[in-house]
């Protein structure tokens, strides 16, 4: 179990280093960087590589935003396998996406309780 | 210094995993011959660190833990393992899982060594759980 | 004629009173003793950041009017601006003040562009007292130009921190015991094709150099106690120094050069390159600098406020950052 | 002034982004976030009926919840300044983008402000996630039906 945590740490950390290089060297904005990573995630799943990657790295592969692309593609592919081409469209949100629904729910809750503060430490 | 400590830690963990797999098992009908046959087979697997098995009324439920560095091909390893176990026990309904949760639950059953009815119920629950989609 | 950019005011319009207000973070500024109003709430007790921004402008203006011994009805014109969309905080403050009003936008250079315009109005002798200045409120500006306040985007070392604060003054006819506007140079828009919105100091330094160079060429032989730019920050002021050194405009000048943005928060590394915003130059110029001039500590200073004339829209459409700098020479007899 | 020579002066004098240090802090921050995620997913497996596969959903939701609390308390932006991509790339960064936009636009009301702007920053991630998933799945499905590859 400790070994799994270490692998998640190292793999997750390395993905973030790629993101940092996209920020600092390629001078991309956060929105560009994250969109790019999501697209990479869905392409990797199309090649059948992302699921083995999750088997290997656990949270190191599911926590980075790339896994969004993976789960969307995975849902579309699973449905397409059953129902053919039309499944591509209907299956997209079948498997996912707790991240999106959680973000919406918690976003509205946060708007109810919190106010923004502009202070720096 | 910190790095050195980290590297040695990793080496230790990797080294610790290269031993032969540990096997626990339980046969409800107490057929020692079948048990040994399976335990020997699991012990010979190179990419597996742990295996558990329960025999029950011509049903065989096996869970395995793939070694961390082989986990990338976990699905393939599990599939080929399942095939081989099936050919070893052709008259059994074989179920194999490499999931950590399923493995924990199976070990609980092995530890408790419950009565026939309960084993049946527990094993059914286990298989249903593992079939849940993401 | 190109020389019309620089003008010497024969009537010597004087800044008869000023007032400066800041928010809570600005307490760490070395200029703190010269701030009239220091608020503990960055929203100034208002519901929204924008309302707080308007309140800040209104209160500072009222104080500037009061310190001069006037009433709001004595003000012939209110000339001001800020950085929020359509300058609503200033517009709303003007609604409360109920004076004749004209909004001006020169980004962070509004502090000086309003003073220059006010000086021209006074030169015509038609008006007697003009209220001028500018302000900014960190949260409102940050959201306008960048991200929501709580978004965890990393700022590079060239990033600057928008000041919560405002500085306003009343300009009137010459009074011998008050600092007066000796001359001014109106800036040209300079665009060196820089595109990084997190490094505005570098972009603005070119405009500051252009204006300073022109002003010095028209006022040869004048000696200044110092030249101070508004909000180039540590990055931009280093570049301006280098530009001046290599161009040889005045080697003497480099020692006498200061930047309000770089000095504003002292040596706090967390605020990266330093302060910026329309409130940065306004609070420093009309707070500490005005006070020292009044005490005759200094006799002649050149104040150059710089502004980056971009919007989030122009940045997203891939446009570079056009910049401007306006200069005013304040003197004390 | 010539834009090229000016750019050179800026490149010389403006402080560089400390890429190496940023990468290190991004690695640490991102690694710790993923490590915490792994621990949480173990907890879901241990105490609840979730398998390795199914535990990732409640884990992601929990991480977004943590991001909400940290964002609301004003802590996440400090982590962001330290960690850079390390706190932006994990799903907590997605949560931070959504939650910070929601809090910020509360002043315009819950429908036009919160509702209309909640995906102001994170929207592009969803848009291009869905669109690329569509394209990838479409290509793969067609390839399978033509018989070039198998599922």
- Asked if residue C50 has pLDDT above 70, the reply is yes
% of chain C residues with pLDDT over 70:
98
Q: How high is the pLDDT of residue B133?
A: 63
CA distance C63 to C43: 18
CA distance B121 to B95: 15
- Residue D100 contacts C where some CB pair is shorter than 8 Å: yes
- Asked if residue C304 has pLDDT above 70, the reply is yes
CB contact under 8 A, D1 and C209: yes
Q: What's the number of domains chain D is made of?
A: 2
- Asked if residue C228 has pLDDT above 50, the reply is yes
- Asked if residue D88 has pLDDT above 50, the reply is yes
Task: Name which of D46, D51, D57 is nearest B129 (Cβ-Cβ).
Answer: D51
Mean pLDDT score across all residues of chain A: 89
Handedness of CA A60, A63, A64, A69 (dihedral sign): positive
Q: What angle do CA D142, D148, D150 make, to 5 degrees?
A: 85
- Asked if residue A121 has pLDDT above 50, the reply is no
Q: Residue C136: which H helix or E strand, with range?
A: strand C130-136
Task: Name which of D6, D81, D100 is nearest C155 (Cβ-Cβ).
Answer: D81
Q: Do chains C and B touch (3 or more CB pairs under 8 A)?
A: no
Q: What is the mean pLDDT of residues A80-104?
A: 82
Q: How high is the pLDDT of residue C70?
A: 96
Task: Assess if residue B97 is contained within a domain.
Answer: yes
- Asked if residue B118 has pLDDT above 90, the reply is no
- Asked if residue D141 has pLDDT above 50, the reply is yes
- Residue C221 contacts D where some CB pair is shorter than 8 Å: no
Q: How high is the pLDDT of residue C252?
A: 67
* In a shared domain, residues D15 and D51: yes
The CATH code of domain C180-331 reads 3.40.47.40
Q: Residue C331: which H helix or E strand, with range?
A: strand C323-331
Cα–Cα distances (Å) from C25 to A72, C34, C43, C139, C166, in that order, read: 44, 15, 12, 12, 14
* Residue B12 pLDDT class (50, 70, 90 cuts): low
- Residue C155 contacts D where some CB pair is shorter than 8 Å: yes
Q: How high is the pLDDT of residue A95?
A: 65
Q: Do chains C and D touch (3 or more CB pairs under 8 A)?
A: yes
Task: Name which of D19, D30, D100 is nearest A15 (Cβ-Cβ).
Answer: D30
* Residue C236 pLDDT class (50, 70, 90 cuts): very high
Minimum distance, in Å, between the CA of residue A57 and any CA atom of chain D: 9
Q: What is the mean pLDDT of residues B31-53?
A: 88
Q: Do chains B and A touch (3 or more CB pairs under 8 A)?
A: yes
Task: Name which of B10, B13, B72 is nearest A56 (Cβ-Cβ).
Answer: B72
* In a shared domain, residues D115 and D129: no
Interface of A with C in 8-27 (CB under 8 A): 23, 27
Residue D60 domain boundaries: 3-120
- Asked if residue A117 has pLDDT above 60, the reply is yes
Q: What is the pLDDT of residues A33-43, one digit of tens each?
A: 999 999 999 99
* Residue B78 pLDDT class (50, 70, 90 cuts): very high
Residue B124 domain boundaries: 22-131
CB contact under 8 A, B101 and D57: no
Residue A119 is classified by DSSP as: -
The CATH code of domain C2-172 reads 3.40.47.40
CB contact under 8 A, D121 and C154: no
Minimum distance, in Å, between the CA of residue A3 and any CA atom of chain C: 30
* Residue D53 pLDDT class (50, 70, 90 cuts): confident
- Asked if residue C297 has pLDDT above 80, the reply is yes
Minimum distance, in Å, between the CA of residue C201 and any CA atom of chain D: 9
Q: Which of C137, C197, A96, C143 is CA-nearest to residue D100? A: C143
* In a shared domain, residues D110 and D131: no
Q: Nearest residue of C to residue D68 by CA position?
A: C150
Q: What is the mean pLDDT of residues D87-107?
A: 95
Task: Assess if residue B9 is contained within a domain.
Answer: no
Q: How high is the pLDDT of residue B13?
A: 53
Q: Nearest residue of D to residue B126 by CA position?
A: D49
- Asked if residue C254 has pLDDT above 90, the reply is no
Task: Assess if residue B105 is contained within a domain.
Answer: yes
Minimum distance, in Å, between the CA of residue B82 and any CA atom of chain A: 18
Q: What is the mean pLDDT of residues C241-258?
A: 81
Q: What is the pLDDT of residues D11-28, one digit of tens each?
A: 999 999 999 999 999 999
Q: Nearest residue of A to residue B99 by CA position?
A: A55
Residue B60 phi/psi, 5-degree rounding, is -135, 120
Choose the weakest-confidence range: A5-14, B26-35, C121-130: B26-35
Domains of chain C, residue spans: 2-172, 180-331
Chain centroid to Cα B104, Å, comes to 10
- Asked if residue D138 has pLDDT above 70, the reply is yes
Task: Name which of A14, A25, A80 is nearest D141 (Cβ-Cβ).
Answer: A80
Q: How high is the pLDDT of residue B5?
A: 61
For residue C164, list chain A residues with Cβ-Cβ distance below 8 A.
118
Task: Assess if residue B28 is contained within a domain.
Answer: yes
Q: Nearest residue of B to residue A2 by CA position?
A: B13
- Asked if residue D87 has pLDDT above 70, the reply is yes
Q: How high is the pLDDT of residue A37?
A: 97
CB contact under 8 A, C42 and A119: yes
For residue D149, list chain A residues with Cβ-Cβ distance below 8 A.
none
Q: Nearest residue of B to residue D44 by CA position?
A: B101
- Asked if residue B3 has pLDDT above 70, the reply is no
CA distance B51 to B98: 9
- Asked if residue A97 has pLDDT above 90, the reply is no
Mean pLDDT score across all residues of chain D: 93
For residue D122, list chain A residues with Cβ-Cβ distance below 8 A.
34, 103
Q: How high is the pLDDT of residue B18?
A: 53
- Asked if residue A120 has pLDDT above 80, the reply is no
- Residue D9 contacts C where some CB pair is shorter than 8 Å: yes
Scan for tokens 């921190």, then name that residue: C161
Q: List all chains that touch chain B, counting a touch as 3 or more CB pairs closer than 8 Å.
A: A, D
* In a shared domain, residues D59 and D104: yes
Q: What is the pLDDT of residues C13-37, one digit of tens each?
A: 999 999 999 999 999 999 999 999 9
Q: How does strand C14-22 pair with strand C165-172?
A: antiparallel
Q: What is the pLDDT of residues C176-189, one digit of tens each?
A: 999 999 999 999 99
- Asked if residue C251 has pLDDT above 70, the reply is no
- Asked if residue B56 has pLDDT above 80, the reply is yes
HSE at residue B26, side-chain half, CA atoms within 13 A, is 18
Q: What is the pLDDT of residues C135-164, one digit of tens each?
A: 999 999 999 999 999 999 999 999 999 999
Q: How high is the pLDDT of residue B7?
A: 58
Q: What's the number of domains chain B is made of?
A: 1
Query: For residue D41, what are its two tokens?
Result: 């997913």
For residue B134, list chain D residues with Cβ-Cβ distance below 8 A.
53-54, 56-57
């Amino acid at each position: 179990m400790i070994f799994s945590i270490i692998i998640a740490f190292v793999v997750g950390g390395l993905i973030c280093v790629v993101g940092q290089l996209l920020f600092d060297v390629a001078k991309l904005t956060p929105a560009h960087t994250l969109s790019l990573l999501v697209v990479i995630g869905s392409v990797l799943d199309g090649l059948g590589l992302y699921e083995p990657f999750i088997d290997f790295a656990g949270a190191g592969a599911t926590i980075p935003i790339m896994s969004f692309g993976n789960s969307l593609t995975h849902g579309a592919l699973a449905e397409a396998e059953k129902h053919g081409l039309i499944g591509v469209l209907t299956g997209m949100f079948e498997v996912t996406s707790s991240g999106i629904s959680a973000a919406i729910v918690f976003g509205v809750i946060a708007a109810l309780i919190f106010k923004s503060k502009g202070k720096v430490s | 210094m910190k790095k050195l400590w980290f590297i040695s830690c990793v080496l230790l963990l990797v080294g610790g995993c290269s031993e032969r797999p540990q096997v626990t098992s339980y046969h409800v009908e107490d057929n020692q011959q079948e048990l040994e046959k399976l335990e020997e087979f699991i012990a010979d697997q190179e990419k597996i660190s742990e295996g558990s098995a329960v025999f029950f009324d011509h049903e065989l439920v096996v869970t395995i833990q793939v070694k961390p560095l082989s986990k990338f091909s976990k699905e393939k390893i599990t599939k080929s393992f399942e095939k081989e176990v099936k050919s070893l026990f052709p008259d059994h309904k074989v179920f194999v899982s490499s999931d950590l949760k399923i493995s924990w639950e199976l070990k609980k059953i092995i530890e408790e060594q419950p009565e026939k009815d309960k084993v049946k119920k527990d094993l059914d629950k286990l298989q249903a759980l593992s079939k849940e989609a993401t | 004629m190109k020389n019309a950019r620089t003008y010497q005011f024969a009537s010597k319009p004087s800044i008869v009173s000023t007032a400066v207000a800041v928010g809570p973070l600005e307490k760490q500024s070395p200029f703190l003793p010269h701030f009239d109003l220091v608020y503990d709430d960055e929203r100034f007790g208002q519901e929204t950041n924008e309302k707080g921004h308007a309140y800040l402008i209104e209160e500072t203006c009222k104080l500037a009017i009061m310190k001069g011994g006037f009433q709001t009805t004595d003000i012939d014109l209110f000339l001001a601006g800020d950085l929020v969309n359509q300058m609503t905080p200033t517009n709303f403050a003007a609604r409360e003040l109920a004076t004749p009003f004209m909004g001006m936008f020169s980004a962070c250079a509004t502090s000086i562009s309003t003073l220059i315009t006010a000086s021209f109005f006074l030169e015509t002798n038609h008006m007697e007292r003009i209220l001028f200045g500018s302000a900014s409120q960190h949260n409102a500006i940050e959201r306008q130009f960048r991200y929501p306040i709580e978004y965890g985007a990393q700022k590079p070392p060239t990033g600057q921190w928008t000041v919560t604060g405002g500085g306003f003054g009343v300009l009137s006819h010459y009074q011998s015991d008050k600092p007066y506007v000796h001359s001014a140079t109106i800036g040209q828009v300079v665009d060196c094709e820089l595109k990084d919105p997190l490094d505005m100091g570098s972009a603005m330094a070119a405009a500051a150099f252009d204006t300073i160079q022109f002003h010095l060429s028209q006022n040869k032989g004048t000696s200044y106690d110092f030249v101070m730019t508004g909000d180039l920050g540590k990055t931009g002021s280093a570049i301006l120094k280098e530009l001046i050194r290599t161009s040889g405009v005045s080697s003497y000048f480099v020692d006498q050069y200061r930047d309000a943005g770089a000095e504003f928060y002292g040596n706090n590394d967390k605020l990266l390159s330093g302060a910026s915003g329309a409130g940065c130059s306004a609070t420093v110029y009309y707070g500490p600098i005005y006070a020292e001039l009044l005490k005759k500590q200094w006799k002649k200073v050149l104040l150059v406020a710089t502004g980056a004339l971009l919007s989030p829209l122009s940045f997203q459409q891939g446009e570079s950052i056009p910049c401007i700098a306006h200069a005013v020479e304040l003197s004390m007899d | 002034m010539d834009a090229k020579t000016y750019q050179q002066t800026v490149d010389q004098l403006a402080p560089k982004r400390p890429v190496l240090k940023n990468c290190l802090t991004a690695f640490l921050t991102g690694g710790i976030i993923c490590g915490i995620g792994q621990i949480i997913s173990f907890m879901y497996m241990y105490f609840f009926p979730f398998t390795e596969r199914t535990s990732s959903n409640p884990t992601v939701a929990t991480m977004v919840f943590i991001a909400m609390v940290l964002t609301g308390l004003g802590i996440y932006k400090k982590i962001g300044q330290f960690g850079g991509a390390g706190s932006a790339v994990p799903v907590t960064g997605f949560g931070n983008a959504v939650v910070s936009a929601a809090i910020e636009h509360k002043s315009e009301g819950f429908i036009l402000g919160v509702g209309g702007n909640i995906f102001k920053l994170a929207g592009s991630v969803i848009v291009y996630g869905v669109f690329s998933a569509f394209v990838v799945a479409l290509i793969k499905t067609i390839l399978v039906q033509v018989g070039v590859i198998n599922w």
